[in-house]
Amino acid sequence: MTTLPPYTPASIVPGMYDILLLNGRVLDGTGAPARSVDIAIEAGRIVAIGDLSTATATDSIDATGKFVTPGFIDIHSHSDLTLVIAGQASSSVAQGITTQIAGNCGVSAAPTLDHVPYYGPLDPAMTRGMVCDWIDFDDYFDRLTNQGLGTNLATLVGHGNIRVAAMGWEDREATPTELERMRQLTAQAMEHGSLGLSSGLAYAPGPYAPLEELVELGRVVGRYGGLYTSHIRNQTLGIAAAVGEVIAVGERAGITAHVSHMQPGSPMLGATADLLQTIDSVRARGVDVSCDAIPYTIGSTTLKSLLPPWSLDGGDEALLRRLQDPAMRDKIKADTMTHGAESGGSRKRNLVKEGSWDRIWLGSAERNEHLTGKSFAEIGQIRHQDPHDAVLDVLLEENARPWMLAEDVSEEDFLNIARHETGGIISDGFSLIPEGVLAEGKHHPRSYAAFPYFLRHFIRDQGALTWEQAIHKLTGHAAARFRLTDRGVLREGAWADVVIFDPETIAEGADFDNPYRYPHGIDTVLVNGIAAVDDGRLTDSRSGRIVRRTA
């Protein structure tokens, strides 16, 4: 009797792989100490880890002297619409990001209001020329998949989208019918694979929503095992109460809750020490709460968030009418000069109240392109007017679209969060390409640089965390918090999202003067087993996938 050898398909003949990553120091994303092992990849997945020096493969990459880590996971991007303009996601891939979560701060690509996107805090000028042919996430995901995606993409659904679709930009509570519509839209987004709900309580119409509305929608999300994230209502004097509101949604809806960029502005610098203690005590009683932070002291958002939220009642057109009315302008300015950030909107309103115009810069504009990159102290001089009036006039001239940058948070607070068990690290940026509309203005360098900057500045230069801890934050921790399965760790069976970089040379290339430059020291980026960066060069692999919430 003859015994046949067991059948083995050619593609998984032992020792013959697609790619071998040899001789590197592997940080597997769990925080475990680095190990000198090889990795084999086959059909987009990691299939073997160990001594593979005798194995053969179609491609071999020698990682001697380099770190081999999981692809970085950016749990907070605003690439929702920039990916429609340019799917290659060059600025993200180049910094090692292989998966990003969009739909943050209450704004997502879907649902649209009959093909009109909700931009919320985003700048519609940045994606001009875009044709919006989707209403829901299924259609949006199809569009991106057909175009090809440089990174994997998961998304939250924005509360702003839901509220605007159900009841417009009104500064009032929802009627029972409107609330029911919001529940339906939230449920549909979850059925299409959204990870959960995000709110942007600094950006109209977010500030108009009471806690009860967020709890109601949180309960819908909870039925699907989703989570809730929030750009909180107040990041200055009222920050403890605002974090408390996120905790209340988590606790009352019975879901995981997450405070986005939990960085306090003046006069609450240092408040993260107390906030993180609150998170610890809440977690001890069983409420699953976490937070994250951006590794810069300069933030960036829409210029109109320097205004009190009531001035945005009714949407941009109503705002522009108010900005043309001298009495209304005085009322808007008086609100900020009296209350600063305490009457809502961005924490950066405190800079206006203090007159710190040299720490607020114009990030984007069309008619005023020549003013981008300049502070409002300079812009006031150039335009021969008070900087506060310059803000209102630039908003008017630019149809309420521009972005700003402003310096108002501390490295101490960033590090408190980065070192905390629940703290994540985020870019808060966009996927960009260095040409066309996505290369205009002077946006924040984080879109090209956040993670290499974090690794160079805080890890190599300061030793603020170990490399193992730092990589864990950018990979395994991020995947676990947002329940992305088979990503964020290097183990057999996981997707082959991998970064190979030199810990001696990794560094950002972009800064505030030149925000659209690629980083250094990142040699290889694999997205689902395909090289998106090969020998330091972008390949435009578009091997990313849509990542839907797993049941």
CB of 453 to Zn ion, least distance (A): 17
- In 3D space, the residue among 501, 499, 506 whose CA is nearest the CA of residue 525 turns out to be 499
What the block records as the tokens of 3 is 């015994």
| Residue 364 CB contacts under 8 Å (≥ 6 apart), including other chains | 123, 125, 126, 372, 401, 402, 403, 440, 441, 442, 443
Residue nearer to Zn ion on the CB measure, 194 or 524? 194
CA–CA separation, 355 vs 551, rounded Å?
50
Helices assigned H by DSSP within 168-255: 176-191, 211-223, 239-253
CB of 220 to Zn ion, least distance (A): 22
Residue nearer to Zn ion on the CB measure, 346 or 528? 346
CA–CA separation, 495 vs 437, rounded Å?
33
CB of 241 to Zn ion, least distance (A): 20
- Maximum Cα–Cα distance across the chain: 99
Q: Which helix (H) or strand (E) is 275 found in, with range?
A: helix 272-284
Residue that is written with structure tokens 């709110």 in the block: 199
Residue nearer to Zn ion on the CB measure, 74 or 428? 428
Residue nearer to Zn ion on the CB measure, 120 or 380? 120
DSSP state, residue 286: T
Task: Return the residue nearest Zn ion (CB atom).
Answer: 105
Residue nearer to Zn ion on the CB measure, 118 or 501? 118
User: Please, are residues 56 and 17 in contact by the beta-carbon 8 Å criterion?
Assistant: yes
Q: Which helix (H) or strand (E) is 537 found in, with range?
A: strand 537-538
CA–CA separation, 393 vs 274, rounded Å?
39
Residue that is written with structure tokens 């994250």 in the block: 292
CB of 121 to Zn ion, least distance (A): 8
Residue nearer to Zn ion on the CB measure, 305 or 541? 305
Give the number of other CB atoms < 10 A from CB of residue 172: 10
User: Please, are residues 201 and 106 in contact by the beta-carbon 8 Å criterion?
Assistant: yes
CA–CA separation, 455 vs 471, rounded Å?
9
CB of 508 to Zn ion, least distance (A): 19
Residue nearer to Zn ion on the CB measure, 294 or 459? 294
DSSP state, residue 485: T
Residue nearer to Zn ion on the CB measure, 301 or 336? 301
Radius of gyration of the chain (CA): 23
**Which residue ranges make up the site for Zn ion (CB under 5 A)?**
104-105, 428
CB of 483 to Zn ion, least distance (A): 20
CA–CA separation, 135 vs 110, rounded Å?
6
Residue nearer to Zn ion on the CB measure, 77 or 541? 77
